Every structure is written in structure tokens, then in C-alpha cells.
Amino acid sequence: MASVRTVATTPYPDQRPGTSGLRKRVRVFLQPNYLENFVQAIFDAFPERRGGTLVLGGDGRHHNAEAIQVILRMAAANGFERVVVGRDGILSTPAASHLIRVRGAFGGIILSASHNPGGPEGDFGVKYNVGNGGPAPEAVTERIWAISRELREYRILEAEDLPLGRPGELRLGPMTVEVVDPVADYADLMERLFDFDRMRALFDSGLFRMRYDAMHAVTGPYAREILERRLGAPPGTVVNGEPLPDFGGGHPDPNLVHARALVEAMHGRDAPDFGAASDGDGDRNMILGRRFFVTPSDSLAVLAANAHRVPGYARGLAGVARSMPTSRALDRVAARLGIDCYETPTGWKFFGSLLDAGRITLCGEESFGTGSDHVREKDGLWAVLFWLNLLAVRREPVEAIVRAHWREHGRHYYQRHDYEGLDPDPAAALLEDLRRALPSLPGRRLGGLEVSAADDFAYTDPVSGERSERQGIRILFGEEARAVLRLSGTGTAGATLRLYLERYEPDPARHGLDPGEVLAPLAAAVDAIAGLRARLGRERPDVVT
Ligand code: G1P
Ligand code: ZN
């Protein structure tokens, strides 16, 4: 009979969850009891977990398989009645969110460092999601952190590793472990939201080709099942479809920099009509047309404007939301539709209460995250299928759809500049000084633009009343332009400063310009105020998306 062991441990001081769970280098997680401590802190944060169901899975990165076995044994020793785990310990983030919801689970643990590189030298992460399927709110993550700093022991069942390669039920001491096909429920959900007949007809027409790059991350099996099997796309539509523990050495972040091969294919001779990619754990997406990149902010606005054409959203949108740094293209669509548009801090957790309360149906972030009320996470493949449904209905190229959108609503030129691996102190000091200078900015003319307002974004959740402060510095130039600066909360080495630039252009004659050129004066104006180049010692950003 398996017995529970109580193991004495010493707390780690650095287990504070960031924008999206606890994310550290693999080698940090390999320290003695590091994973166990954090998992026990999660469990201790919820005394009412006893008798409940836990959903468990990860993106398959290095250390996923070992960590799954540890967490199963700890769940059995901490009063869970059942754990629903993806086959081989695999679940994409949106699929995990969906499983938590359909099973009425108490919560879920997702093992992922999202788009960060994997492998022994890469990153690992642990994220806790609550019963609505969404990331734990800040009050919960702060509670977990507080507990982790006081932790003296953890509980674990003494038992052998379980074979997780086949769906079915297993016993682990007093607990049931249910191994499920990670794809089936999720794919069924997609069939209920989108017009699969029409999408199948698009592939059958022979006039349309698509390339989906799974970047050797978790969505390969999902995309193959949905695109190639259920929708009849030709084999080979999904590339890099085998999940690998080190993502094939790549950086599984679907953007113009890291999804290079896809971007090149979409610009090459004989390019497909539609290109898309997803990240490590399947919650991000990038949308490309032939020789055309759709910014995530534009993608969100286009989906909102066209939602009525898609079965799952045909009854209309309750409202929409975007994270603060995301471009204001969405706001224009909302105004046209006569629905509310909420502006939230960065991070998906802030959308949860709005979705739960039925205030919004669609939401998204500039960081390649788009989603809806179908789950409580952003959902990469869902966004791709939404676009595919749209293409099947409109039978126009991606580029034509976006250009028509700009003609109707105006174009929001947009770029994000990331300065990575910075020394944390000067980066924090730069923002601190800028914060102090905010009151003096309104009225100043910079780069031909006048500052209309400048503040440090704060947010009060309209449903829960929770307050979040210091969420990013905004420098507004009326309706015309905006710059936002904030520090990343997901990095694992040094600090990353993000500068978000946006400029609105209503005139269709000026919609064909190069975003870098349009935004250069704004970037220079920010540099003049904040002294980025001088103070960070960097000539240019490391990544521009
Ligand atoms: C980044 C993105 C943010 C996203 C998060 C998790 O966080 O900017 O929009 O929600 O990853 O995918 P950051 O590193 O900026 O804190
Ligand atoms: Zn992700």
C-alpha cells in the first residue's frame, strides 16, 4: 500500500509568480525540492481542494515528464480525488483550460514556459489555473508566494512512476488518475464554434493553400487532427508538427523574428495563401497572408469586426477587451458596433473576470494572444481557425481583408521594441525617473506631436474591484499617437524593457507606408524624453515585432 511521506524542506525566496506563473531556468527547477516546494505552496493556498479534481499537463518541454510524475504523487498525498492528465503528460494551455471547465475541476497545473526556449539550458514553468479555467488572479498568486516563503514541508506519496502513454484510468494510492487524449475534447469544441463544412470546402476547392508552423511545440498534434484530418487540408499543411523537448533547438515564439522559416515561405515564390504559427504551449498565434503580416492588434480588431460571420459568435459580441499596450484598433470596432471595450493591464489573468461576468466575448493582446469566452486562456489554434473560417466565408486574400478593414476604420501603425537582457537596476531607474517626469510632459511638443496626457496605468477590475497599479507608463498624443513603456514580467534572465509605439492614420492614401518609418519620429521623441539609448547603452532594440 502506498504511503504518504512528509518531507522537511527549506523555502526558496524566489518563487513569486510573474505575468504567467513561475518561470525559471530548468536548472533552477532542478534544485532539490524546488518544484515540490512550489507545488505544495499551490496546494496549501487551497485548503478546500480536498476531494476535488485537478487537471494536469504541459507543453512537453524538457523536464515535463519527470515533473508530471512528481505532481501526480503530490496530488495523491494532498487530498485530490482525481487528476485528469493529458496522455504522456501533454496538454496545450487552451486545451487544459477547456478540460478544467468541462470537468468542473477544482483547478489545473500547466507546465510551460510558453514561448521561451526549452531543453536542459532553457526554461521551465509552472502555472496554476483556477476553476473557471483561467490563470490564478493576482491575490491567489501572491498568496502562493507568501506560503512558499514559509514552507517547511511537503507531502508526497511513495510510488512508482505511472505509465501515461494510453488513455484510461489508473490508481495512485487513494486517488484516480485519468489519462485522456489531449486533443479530442478541444477539437470537438472547435467544431462547435466554427463552420467546418465551409472550411473543408475551401480546402476542397483546390484554390487555397495553407501552411501552419507548429514550431516543434505542443500544437502539432492538435493542428494535424483539426486541419489535416477533420478539415481535409493536404498532409504537409502542418510543418514542424512533432513536439520535441527542446523545440528542435528553436525559440517557439510565433513572430517575425522567431518564426523566420514561415515568414520566408510566405514571402517566397509560390507562397501559400495563408500562414500561421503557434508558440510552445499553444496559446499564441501569428497570422500571415501572402507577403503580408497581420499585426496581432489588427488581427483582434478584424476578428471583432467579422465575428458575426462565424457560427460561434453569430449572435453578437457582449463586449471586447484588450491589454493596455495593445493598439486601439479594437476600440474603433467596438465604437462602431456600439459595444463596450475594456482596457486591462498586460496578462491574460485580467480578462477572466470580464469573461466570467459575460461582459466581453473577445479579447486579446499585442503579444500574439487572442481569445474568447470559449476558454479562459488565449488560444493560438482557435485564432487560426477563426481566420480560416473568415477566409472560407469571404473568399478574399488575407491582405485584402485587412486593407478593407483599414479603409473602413483607419490604420493603427504599430510596433513593439524589446530591449532584452538589461541590467535590472538601470532599467528600473529609467522607468522610475520617467514616472517622476510624467506631470511635466503634457503640453510638450515632441517629434511634431503634442503630449496630451501621461500617466502610469492603473486598473480597477470592474467586476471584482481589485486594484492593480504601476502597470506601464503611457504617453499619449491625443487620438493620433501613443507610446507605452513597461518592464516584462515573464523574463528569466536580466530585465526586458518593452516600448510600444502606435500611430493612427485615417487617410487611406497613407495606408501603404512602412511602419518603421511612420513610427520613427515617435520612437525618437520617446528617446528624447526617457533617454533609452544613452541610459541602456543600446543603439537599437533586440527584437522588433
Ligand atoms: C508577455 C506579454 C503579455 C503576455 C505574457 C504571457 O508578458 O507581453 O502580453 O500576456 O507574456 O504570454 P511580459 O513579458 O510583457 O510581462
Ligand atoms: Zn504561450
51: left (phi over 0), alpha (psi -120 to 50) or beta: left
Strands 411-422, 453-456: pairing is unpaired
Task: Count how many Cα atoms sit within 13 Å of the Cα of residue 268 in the half-sphere of its side chain.
Answer: 11
pLDDT of residue 1: 59
pLDDT of residue 493: 78
* CATH number, domain 411-544: 3.30.310.50
The one-letter code for the residue type at 105 is A
- Through-space distance between the first and last CA atoms of the chain, rounded to whole angstroms: 55
Any residues with CB less than 8 A from the CB of 364 and at least 6 apart, and which? 296, 297, 299, 300, 303, 322, 323, 326, 330, 370, 371, 378
Q: What is the DSSP string of 320-387?
A: EEEETTS-THHHHHHHHHT-EEEEE-SSGGGGHHHHHTTS-SEEEETTTEEEETTSSS--HHHHHHHH
Residue 276's beta-bridge partner residues? 212, 287
- Distance from Cα 284 to the centre of ligand 2, integer Å: 5
Which ligand 1 atom is nearest residue 367's CA? Answer: 9
**Residue located nearest, by CA, to atom 3 of ligand 1:** 347
pLDDT of residue 492: 72
Any residues with CB less than 8 A from the CB of 108 and at least 6 apart, and which? 54, 55, 56, 57, 96, 97, 99, 100, 128, 129, 133
Task: Report residues whose beta carbon is within 6 angstroms of any ligand 1 atom.
Answer: 19-20, 114, 323, 346-348, 365, 367, 369, 488-490, 498
- Is it true that 3-182 and 186-409 share their CATH fold? yes
Which ligand 1 atom is nearest residue 496's CA? Answer: 14
pLDDT of residue 18: 86
CATH architecture under which domain 186-409 falls = 3-Layer(aba) Sandwich (3.40)
Buried b or exposed e, range 270-280, using 16+ CB within 10 angstroms = ebbbbbbbbbb
Which ligand 1 atom is nearest residue 490's CA? Answer: 14
Element (H, E) at 503: strand 495-505
Pick the CATH number of 3-182 from 1.20.1250.20, 1.10.20.10, 3.40.50.970, 3.40.120.10: 3.40.120.10
- Distance from Cα 167 to the centre of ligand 1, integer Å: 34
Q: What is the pLDDT of residues 409-446, one digit of tens each?
A: 999 999 999 999 999 999 999 999 999 999 999 999 98
Which of 141, 365, 368 for a ligand 1 pocket mutation test, highest count of atoms within 8 Å of Cβ? 365
In this structure, the number of other CB atoms found within 10 A of the CB of residue 30 comes to 14
Tell me how far apart the alpha carbons of residues 100 and 94 are, in angstroms, rounded to a whole number.
Answer: 10
Q: What is the pLDDT of residues 463-509, one digit of tens each?
A: 999 999 999 999 999 889 999 999 998 777 789 999 999 999 999 99
Contact 326, 300 (CB under 8 A): yes
pTM above 0.75, yes or no: yes
**Residue located nearest, by CA, to atom 2 of ligand 1:** 367
Tell me how far apart the alpha carbons of residues 82 and 174 are, in angstroms, rounded to a whole number.
Answer: 9
Q: What is the pLDDT of residues 373-396, one digit of tens each?
A: 999 999 999 999 999 999 999 999
The domain limits of the chain are 3-182, 186-409, 411-544
- Distance from Cα 350 to the centre of ligand 2, integer Å: 16
CA-derived radius of gyration, the chain: 23
Question: pLDDT tens per residue, the chain (545 residues)?
Answer: 579 999 999 999 999 998 789 999 999 999 999 999 999 999 999 999 999 999 999 999 999 999 999 999 999 999 999 999 999 999 999 999 999 999 999 999 999 999 999 999 999 999 999 999 999 988 899 999 999 999 999 999 999 999 999 999 999 999 999 999 999 999 999 999 999 999 999 999 999 999 999 999 999 999 999 999 999 999 999 999 999 999 999 999 999 989 999 999 999 999 999 999 999 999 999 999 999 999 999 999 999 999 999 999 999 999 999 999 999 999 999 999 999 999 999 999 899 999 999 999 999 999 999 999 999 999 999 999 999 999 999 999 999 999 999 999 999 999 999 999 999 999 999 999 999 999 999 999 987 889 999 999 999 999 999 999 999 999 999 889 999 999 998 777 789 999 999 999 999 999 999 999 999 999 999 999 999 999 999 999 998 99
Tell me how far apart the alpha carbons of residues 19 and 112 are, in angstroms, rounded to a whole number.
Answer: 13
Q: Tell me which residues are annotated as active site.
A: 114
